[in-house]
Structure 1
Amino acid sequence: MLSSRSAGTVEATLPVVGAAIGEISQVFYRRLFEAHPDLLGHLFNRGNQANGSQQQALAGSIAAFAGALLARPEERPDALLARIAHKHVSLGITEGQYEIVHTHLFAAIAEVLGEAVTPEVAAAWDEVYWLMANALKALERGLYAQSGLAPGEVWRTYRVVARYQETDDVVTFLVLPADGLPVPEGRPGQYVSVQVELPDGARQIRQYSLSGHPDGALQFSVKRELGNPLGEVSHHLHEAIGVGLELRISAPSGDVVLDRDDAPLLLASAGIGCTPMISMLASLVEEGSSRKVIAVHGDRDQTRHPFRSELGHLTGKLADAEIHVWYERPLGEWPKDRTGLVDLTGPGAPAIPSGTRAYLCGPLPFLRAVRAQLLDSGVRAADIHYEVFGPDLWLQQAS
């Protein structure tokens, strides 16, 4: 895919570009927002910009893509790109925006690297960018077509018809389209983007996993995050959005979805990461699945565990399912071997059948730890799928 001439240049300059990619990302976003200030208010997550995680994710994805091109030049790394494409479609990104990104990204590269960016180096990295951008555009065209949507036309107005307080810091919203038309089809494990208008006029967007399969409605759950601007959208949803009010919501997206076969399943989550797992369990119950299912969850304590009762209720309806829960600071009587962090290799850990397909969702430290435990238990790397909330800072390690 990468021309032999450019491959040599990229290989030679990847250490230099890789070492500077974090600074390049910062300069890129500064230039982008100076030229298009509306993008910071109405498209990009201000919390992720403030804490630097979006810059890290951009840097990691570019470096990972370039590395994949060099390591496997005959393959297009679609597994690496699929997650980005789904996220872009959930935000309504269109092809013309790749030109905007190109302009400011290459200006940032020139600003940071200076004279090191010779015409040959610029041409080689331009090739990398357009290979990545065109691959994403192709994937996104397919996703839009699959959803029956015109590119960028992902938003609909929904009305909140119910809200449920799951825990002190988690609330579930049940919403119906305001136009009365059917809800778009979503698959277990997918998420929706939710756009809210904040007091300063910014229309900020966040993604929330579908947390169930109600007839004719969408259901998603929101954990109140701390900090400003990190938690500004979740706080607004908790405090200002009640029954009868309206929200702008995208069509469901996401590449971490339940496979439809007979392989044994392990669904592992921590904290609010339980939401896609609850959606998957509800789907398995609905179809009367006989698959072996191991549900694993880790949380602070019983009161912080969202959907705790639903977890037991759903697994109880399956033919061959078991639950394993760890609490860091359990309240009352609780087994010692289930106290602390999730441990799938220690005493009392579940027996994981051969051929198990695993789905993980939670904070990055949890994902890394559980993935390592599963690999040690004999689960194939290709059979471990993960979802992380916020920018994916793990693409280059878990792809």
Structure 2
Amino acid sequence: MRKTMLSPKSTELVEASLPAVAAAIGEISELFYARMFEEHPVLQRDLFNRGNQANGTQPQALAGSVAAFAAGLLAGQTPDAMLRRIAHKHVSVGVTPGQYAVVHKHLLGAVAEVLQVSEEIGAAWSEVYWLMADTLIGLERFLPRGWEEHRVIARFQETDDVVTFVVRPLNGPVPPSQAGQYVSVQVELEDGARQIRQYSLSGRTDDALQFSVKRDGEVSNHLHDEVVAGSVINVSQPSGDVTLEPGDGPVLLASAGIGCTPMVAMLAELAAVGSPREVIAVHGDRDQFTHPFRADLAQLVGKLDNGLAHVFYERPVGEWPAERTGYVDLAGIDLPQDTTAYLCGPTPFLKAMRAQLLGAGVTDIHYEVFGPDLTR
């Protein structure tokens, strides 16, 4: 049976050392990654997002997840939503159980070097790590994983910097997916690195998947510039646990920028079945011309008997209601307290929406974030 609690002695040691570990987690993470990549350069080249390594967000995400898990153990709670999110990300990029031992070696070595902790404290944090790792390995065992070559059968320019790709497996049927999920796409760059990025599904048919990509980094640039109809790309099984839950209560779909992609897919799913639920779609963008799926949003909401759309533009072009200018603000939107909220967008947007929702008494909140999760 998998162990789910810290031993009493480790609990005491982790509780005493958690403030010091949390305070030094940036330095610990930096040293950890440097050590691991020196010994396993292929992980840096092919598995970890080089952009997130360069800007420091990956170490921050690691710090947040380890600290949150340790704090949860001390409080007698397990951060299930966080662990599910990490598990889906791991299988989407191909993390294997054996790689957890590699991380353990270098992470605990970095903790010992930075904080000069005793062997006892090191062993206690090792216990924390393996509790988290074993939980993730258990979750990942039951999730679909694997890569398939897909042919691009179409591509559409949604806005100046957003392209939609429609892809079909070269062999076998289209894998099952749910609105709100994402796929990983692996491309070979000019320097030989096989980098991986996740993109939300913005739609699907019986024989094809659709995902949309905003130009904002080396992989997205490669997809925009090099991948055309007829190209073959490596695509993972669909992953992600932020999907529409069954029920008949009100639903909020709130997004900003390219975060609209999973929300449009959810909206399409609700419209396809003629859902009678109250559906509130909220989106924020720079202006009308940077808003992907603008026409789809209006069309899909129009198909719902109880659908409403609220769109905010920071710098709208032409006439636009003053109360819809600027960042998304839920204050003027009627949100029943039994609303189930789904959010997707940049970290500042997610934090602001979560605070506004909790202030309005809405607590059933689900979110998807592109890149490392820094919302804690």
Instruction: Give me the TM-score of the superposition, normalised by structure 1.
Output: 0.92
Deviations 1:20-59 (A, max 9, x none): 1111111110011100111111111000000000010001
Deviation at 1:250, TM superposition (A): 0.3
Structure 2, unaligned runs of 5 or more = none
For residues 153-203 of structure 1, what are the alpha-carbon distances to aligned partners after superposition, in whole Å with 9 as ceiling and x for unaligned?
Answer: x10000000000000000000000011x11111111110000000011100
Query: Does the alignment pair 1:392 with 2:350?
Result: no
Matches of 2:340 and 2:303, distance apart in 1: 20
Q: Report the equivalent of 2:56.
A: 52
- Tell me which of 2, 5, 24 is aligned to 2:6: 2
In the alignment, the residues of structure 2 paired with residue 373 and residue 354 of structure 1 have an alpha-carbon distance, to the nearest angstrom, of 12
Question: What is the distance in 2 between the residues matched to 1:390 and 1:205?
Answer: 11
Which region of structure 1 is more displaced relative to structure 2, 2-11 or 369-378?
369-378
Letter in 1 for 2:337: S
CA contact (8 A) 2:182 2:198 kept: yes
SS at match of 1:244: coil
SS of 2:155 mapped into structure 1: strand
- Correspondence 1:218 to 2:209: yes
Please point out which of 350, 359, 367 is paired with 2:333.
350
Determine the C-alpha separation between the residues in 1 that align with 2:208 and 2:270. 18
Which residue of structure 2 aligns with residue 322 of structure 1?
Answer: 308
Which residues in structure 2 correspond to 1:274-313 (within 5 Å)? 274-313=260-299
Distance 2:278 2:141 in 1: 36
Aligned length: 372
Task: Tell me what 2:31 maps to.
Answer: 27
CA contact (8 A) 1:213 1:282 kept: no
User: Structure 1: how far apart are the matches of 2:232 and 2:29?
Assistant: 35
| Matching of residues 161-176 of structure 1 within 5 Å | 161-176=153-168
Structure 1 contact 213–283 (Cα < 8 Å) conserved: no
SS for the counterpart of 1:176 is strand
SS in 1 for 2:176: coil
Whole-angstrom CA distance in 2 between matches of 1:122 and 1:389: 33
Displacement of 1:77 in angstroms is 2.9
Checking the alignment, whether the CA contact within 8 Å between 1:172 and 1:219 is kept in structure 2 is yes
SS at match of 2:280: strand
SS of residue paired to 2:317: coil
- Give the secondary-structure state (helix, strand or coil) at the position aligned to 2:211: strand
Q: Which amino acid aligns with 1:198?
A: L
Structure 1 vs Structure 2 CA RMSD: 1.0
Structure 1 position 214, deviation (Å): 2.1
Q: Name stretches of at least 5 consecutive residues in structure 1 with no aligned partner.
A: 226-230
Identity %: 66
Determine which of 301, 321, 336 is the counterpart of 1:335: 321
Matched, 1:160 2:164: no
1:368 is aligned to: 351
How far apart are the structure 2 equivalents of 1:136 and 1:293? 34
Identify the match of residue 101 of structure 2 among 92, 99, 102. Answer: 99
- SS of 1:142's equivalent? coil
Aligned residue for 1:243? Answer: 229
1:379 match = 362
| Distance in structure 2 (CA, Å) of the matches to 1:110 and 1:373 | 40
Aligned residue in 1 for 2:130: 130
**The one of 181, 188, 212 aligned to 1:190:** 181
Report deviation, 1:353: 2.1
Q: CA deviation at 1:350?
A: 2.1
Alpha-carbon distance in structure 2 between the residues aligned to 1:96 and 1:250: 20
- 1:136 aligns to what SS in structure 2? helix
Which residue type is aligned with residue 333 of structure 2? P
**SS of equivalent residue, structure 2 residue 178:** coil
Q: Which amino acid aligns with 2:281?
A: A
* Aligned partner of residue 359 in structure 1, secondary structure: strand
Per the TM alignment, residue 78 of structure 1 is displaced from its structure 2 partner at its CA by 2.0
1:23 maps to amino acid: E
SS at match of 1:208: strand
Letter in 2 for 1:389: F
Cα distance between partner residues in 1 of 2:350 and 2:20: 30
Give the letter for the 2:133 counterpart. A
Rounded to whole Å, the distance in 2 between the matches of 1:290 and 1:23 is 52
| Counterparts of 2:111 and 2:333, CA distance in 1 | 49
Residue 67 (structure 1) shift: 0.5
Partner deviation per Cα, 1:231-255 (whole Å, 9 max, x = no partner): 1000000000000001100001111
**1:156 is aligned with what amino acid?**
E
Q: Distance in 2 between matches of 1:278 and 1:212?
A: 8
The CA distance in 2 between the partners of 1:234 and 1:289, in whole Å, is 34
Is the partner of 2:330 in helix, strand or coil? coil
Distance between the aligned counterparts of 2:326 and 2:310, measured in 1?
13
